[in-house]
Chains A and B, each alone.
Chain A
Amino acid sequence: MLNLSNLIKQYEGVRAVDDVSFSVEQGDVFGFLGPNGAGKTTTIRMIMGIIQQDSGTIELNGKNINLIGRNNLGYLPEDRGLYQKQKLEETIIYFGILRGLSKLDAKTKTNEWLERFGIGDQGNRKIEELSKGNQQKIQFILSLIHDPSLLILDEPFTGLDPINQLLLKEIIQEKREEGKTILFSTHQMEQVERLCTNICLINQGKIIVEGSLENVKKSHSSDSVDVRFTGELNIEKAKSFFSEMAIKGSSISGVLSCEPRDFLTWMNESVIVQSFQIHVPSLEQIFIEEVKKSS
């Protein structure tokens, strides 16, 4: 479990990270979201020990993260790159060794992962000769070759084709099942909806939304509905259920002023309801709305 409490980092008097606290459970994929420049990378860098916070604590499984050894952490940065002139196998082995593996282990695991990603035959090629997508795979391998208990993935899907995205998702699921703690940062909201159970949205260094994806969505769902029906409807009566409403032939859309259930019950009594849809906002809509509100 990863635990951040009251994290603060200032740059030249500006708080890049302003009193950020959240927890990520083991076996969870946690969506860490925010617009550009919100303080995500700064927060991640503090977790990784690349920079030090001004105040606040970061704990992994109950221990100060600076004391448990960085070999327990895996990081795929958003701003990433590799030695272009080196052979990819040698490069992965080197990073494996830097992350605490023995040379032999690093070698075995490198080959395993290259095989898994379908580039097992390219170990002797230079990195600059690889496609962008394949370079991306190498960087992904680097973040988990040492089997860390905390895995931080910043935009892991960019540049990958759908098949490789699927493979990556599969591996992330696998790591979740192994009980790893995974922090997932991205701007692709549909990926978050598919992968994460809990999320946190930060803007201008502050947390603005936090909680389980389900609760976040629930709390943002308005009572806006779309209904299609057949039969004679008492329009005046119907209007009394809505705060605003538009009727067009045999379909109504609008925002309810009562519980959706009450309206549906009345509708069922008076007409035949063909479809009844409550609008649940997409995470993208919530993101845009919340960020605009807090800026």
Chain B
Amino acid sequence: MNQIWNIVKWEFMNRVKSKLFLITTFLLPFFMGGMMYLPTLLMDIEPEETTEIGLVFEDDILDLTERFQTQMSSIHKLKDGNPQFIFNRFQSNEIALDSVLSKSIDGFLFIPSTVMDTGEVEYFSFSLSNIKIYTQIRRVLNQGVIEQRMIEQNIDMSMVGQLSRRISFDTFKIDEDGETSEGNELASFIIPYLFLMILFMTVFMSGQILLRSVMEERTSRTIEILLSSVTPDELMRGKILGLGALGLTQMCFYLIVGLIATEYKELATIDFSLIPLFLIYFVTGYLFYAAIFAAMGTFFTSEQEAQQSSGVISIIAVLPMIFASYFITNPESAFTIGATYIPPLTPFMMIIRIGTKSVEMTEIIISTVLMIVSCWVMLKLSGKIFRTAILLYGKKATVQEVYRWIRD
């Protein structure tokens, strides 16, 4: 027990002091935050350049196009207050096309006279990647066409604006006690996702460190010196616990940063009751994967091999992240619930679902028991492999050999 504690201290202190650990731990939240906020930030920046759009239409829809142009210039403005869009009328698509080719306009809009019936409009441009430009055009034109239809039905011009105004759609979240609070679509998506990311990163970061550390002790032959003082079991436990403590430290840090960030951005309020649950799924999730990584560390002789195979393992664990938007939007579907009870996925699935607040106490208990049993089995198997394979440095074990160690 004493030896395990000595190893725990060594593994933890060494890593926690290392520059690489400090840098990744402190920079990652900023990086992640940047990834999340930067695109929306960029979208919100007002454009600095005017966009010139060609218009091709027949005189019979002059009314429509004039109103469209007026509205565009009143809604979309540049930083300096001038209209963002400048429109030029062209006689035909061919002429407009030539102007696009000679780059004198950015694109052109073909509005056929049948637009009032078919609602079909065509937009041509070199680049369609600036979604913002054509969504702005579409939205205003759409409104214009609807209004024009009303006018043609002899509805009073002054009524049109009023009749076609939008509804306001507010969302509310109901909690267990029937209390309602103002909901935020973004928040209900971001919180589970954030939880999942934090759990995934900390479990895998510590797991990878464990894998490398076991491998390093083996390939550098430090293991022979170590094993003359401690048993393989003590070594394995000490390493798993020490690096687990490291992951836990990292997780707490991310959790605090994450919650402060969401609070600050008014996306959600900090819910401290989730912390014990986080601990349960971190500890069981970490132990499950640590068992795999510790055993893997005794197998490989090169960094490359280890990297590749740990990649394979993380593909399994990354599944909840790939399907996260489905799981978040369908927290009660059979697929979501089924995936919750596959042990390698359980901690990640539970964290997503806790974020969406769709789990019952019974599910928490069942999943916790399931994870404890799975961890126990995995650690048992891993211990058997570790004990034998840790001293084989020259050759790589075969599948049959591994099977025999596990069976013995």
Contacts and interface: CB of A to CB of B under 8 A. Distances in A.
Main secondary structure of the interface of B (DSSP, over half): helix
Nearest to A94: B10
A199 interface: no
A98 B220 contact: no
Interface residues of A, number: 25
B13 to A, nearest CB: 9
B216 interface: yes
Contacts of A99: 229
A5 interface: no
Interface in B196-234: 216-217, 219-222, 224-231
A51 B387 CA distance: 9
Interface string B379-399: 000000000000101000000
A80 B228 contact: no
Interface string B162-197: 000000000000000000000000000000000000
A13 to B, nearest CB: 13
B6 A98 contact: yes
A139 interface: yes
A82 B222 contact: yes
A103 to B, nearest CB: 10
Nearest to B213: A83
Contact of B6 (A45, A49, A97, A142): A97
B221 A50 contact: no
B14 interface: yes
Contacts of B226: 98
B329 interface: no
Interface string A58-95: 00000000000011011101011111101000000011
Contact of B227 (A50, A83, A94, A142): A50
Interface in B364-378: none
B269 interface: no
A48 interface: yes
Contact of A81 (B3, B7, B220): B220
Given A86-B14, A98-B6, A48 B220 contact: no
Given A50-B391, A86-B14, A98-B3, A75 B220 contact: no
Nearest to A48: B228
Given A83-B216, A83-B220, A98-B3, A75 B225 contact: yes
A48 B226 CA distance: 11
Interface string B240-273: 0000000000000000000000000000000000
A80 B14 contact: no
Given A86-B14, A94-B10, A97-B6, A79 B221 contact: yes
A75 B222 contact: no
Contacts of A48: 227-228
A139 B220 contact: no
Contacts of B391: 45, 50-51
Interface of B: 3, 6-7, 10, 14, 216-217, 219-222, 224-231, 391, 393
19 contacts: A48-B228, A51-B391, A70-B229, A73-B228, A74-B228, A77-B221, A77-B224, A79-B393, A80-B221, A80-B225, A81-B220, A81-B225, A83-B216, A94-B6, A94-B10, A95-B225, A98-B6, A98-B226, A99-B229
Closest CB pairs A-B (n = 5): A81-B221, A81-B220, A77-B224, A75-B228, A98-B229
Given A50-B227, A80-B224, 16 more contacts: A45-B391, A48-B228, A73-B228, A77-B228, A80-B222, A81-B222, A82-B220, A82-B222, A83-B217, A83-B220, A84-B220, A94-B6, A98-B3, A98-B6, A98-B7, A142-B225
Interface of A: 45, 48-51, 70-71, 73-75, 77, 79-84, 86, 94-95, 97-99, 139, 142
